[in-house]
Structure 1
């Protein structure tokens, strides 16, 4: 109950701040110098937050679909030989830092959200792939045999038995990928993507600590809310799958 109250408080605080940021001017004014503005107003904070979340959601969704697809393919008898290749694909994002991916993507896709989306997508593949692989491979052979014996086709067994049992584990990878993407997306502003990194970078360039704190605060609160939200969903999925909560 206490955690729920804290989460509700964070939601209310974030909502009020994004809706009426100027109301917090007095709070941030001591962090400014030489009469600088205490609240970032060049682009509405709510707009930047929504764009930031849209990038995270799109990249995480794409990474989830690709990663689960690779995990399913490589856990079938006909796809076991392709596991090293699938793992190599999932590791691409971890091989190159997001900044390097941005530098390589900008000449091809130009400035804006495109390069950032690609970097977040590649960076999010590995956590989801590995957890999906774990979830699918740890299902007891007896469970698969029982599903087959009941008359299920391979597709029905996958959809009705394997994926529901593996889902709580897969969700943990999606949660990790989403939280990583949320923080990593801030660097997208270096290539003109509309993210909360714009606020942080502006504060660093002008020496305005208030701007840096505002951007970091919003990202931090969002990270906490997303992480706790996924944990609640994971716990629910674990109960439905008959697993002990993670």
Structure 2
């Protein structure tokens, strides 16, 4: 029973998200009130459930790449041979998030073309900072005495990393991944400007056509998706890290 209550919030938010995707047309009266002069107030160029799937796909691919690159780089610079590169990796990760995603798209489109690839690159760069910082904080924050105890038990460097450092740092690393993914769920909407179809489509279409109802629909679904995913991560983290 306790376990069911633990997952109740993510399931409720997910149910609301799916209900909004499937039943948006039923809210036409509400959106007609928002945009009374528009001939059409429900975005119909693509199915909302399809747009949700595309949005999740782009964010998921970018998140996996950011985790592999961010955690891998942070681990590398915490080893004896890579410590000299620790400031460089931290600075590069910081630059990736301070560089506007729109600027990344503007530079990437001439090279990569229109579609999902430019937005994946932008999300990858934008999502690295929280992952790198938290991985570094988690690993460097481990008490040196713990490592010494592991060496005293006969563990080598790889065993210490896999069996001691990563398990102890996992809650902090997961918090960084949570921040990265949640931010990128909202940021992914700009992919609609370069042909990457996702939940940003209604927002961009609404801005171009002056239809506030479209903008609200896209923003509502993205907000529900972000809350659903964040709620899921909160249940995966230990209580002390929430």
Structure-1-length-normalised TM-score? 0.91
Contact kept, 8 Å, 2:35 with 2:211, in 1: the verdict is yes
**Aligned residue in 1 for 2:81:** 78
**Aligned residue in 1 for 2:18:** 15
**Aligned residue in 2 for 1:201:** 204
Distance 1:93 1:65, change over 3 A: same
**Aligned residue in 2 for 1:40:** 43
The ranges of structure 1 where at least 4 consecutive aligned residues each deviate by more than 3 angstroms after the TM superposition are: 1-9
Contact kept, 8 Å, 2:178 with 2:233, in 1: the verdict is yes
**Aligned residue in 2 for 1:58:** 61
Answering whether residue 159 of structure 2 is matched by residue 156 of structure 1, we say yes
Residue 143 (structure 2) aligned to one of 140, 143, 148: 140
Cα drift, residue 211 of structure 1: 0.8
Write out per-residue CA displacement over residues 141-188 of structure 1, whole angstroms, 9 at most, x where no aligned residue.
111111111121110110011000000000111011001111111111
**Whole-Å Cα distance in 2 between the matches of residues 167 and 198 of structure 1?**
36
Write out per-residue CA displacement over residues 107-137 of structure 1, whole angstroms, 9 at most, x where no aligned residue.
0001111110000000011110000000000
Contact kept, 8 Å, 1:199 with 1:214, in 2: the verdict is yes
CA RMSD of aligned residues (A): 1.8
Between stretches 8-17 and 42-51, larger displacement belongs to: 8-17
Cα drift, residue 3 of structure 1: 8.5
> Structure 2, unaligned stretches of length 5 or more?
none
3-state DSSP of counterpart to 1:176: helix
> Structure 1, unaligned stretches of length 5 or more?
237-243
Cα drift, residue 23 of structure 1: 2.4
**Aligned residue in 2 for 1:126:** 129
- Report how many aligned residue pairs link the two structures: 239
Higher relative contact order (CA 8 A, sep 6+): 2
Contact kept, 8 Å, 1:123 with 1:181, in 2: the verdict is yes
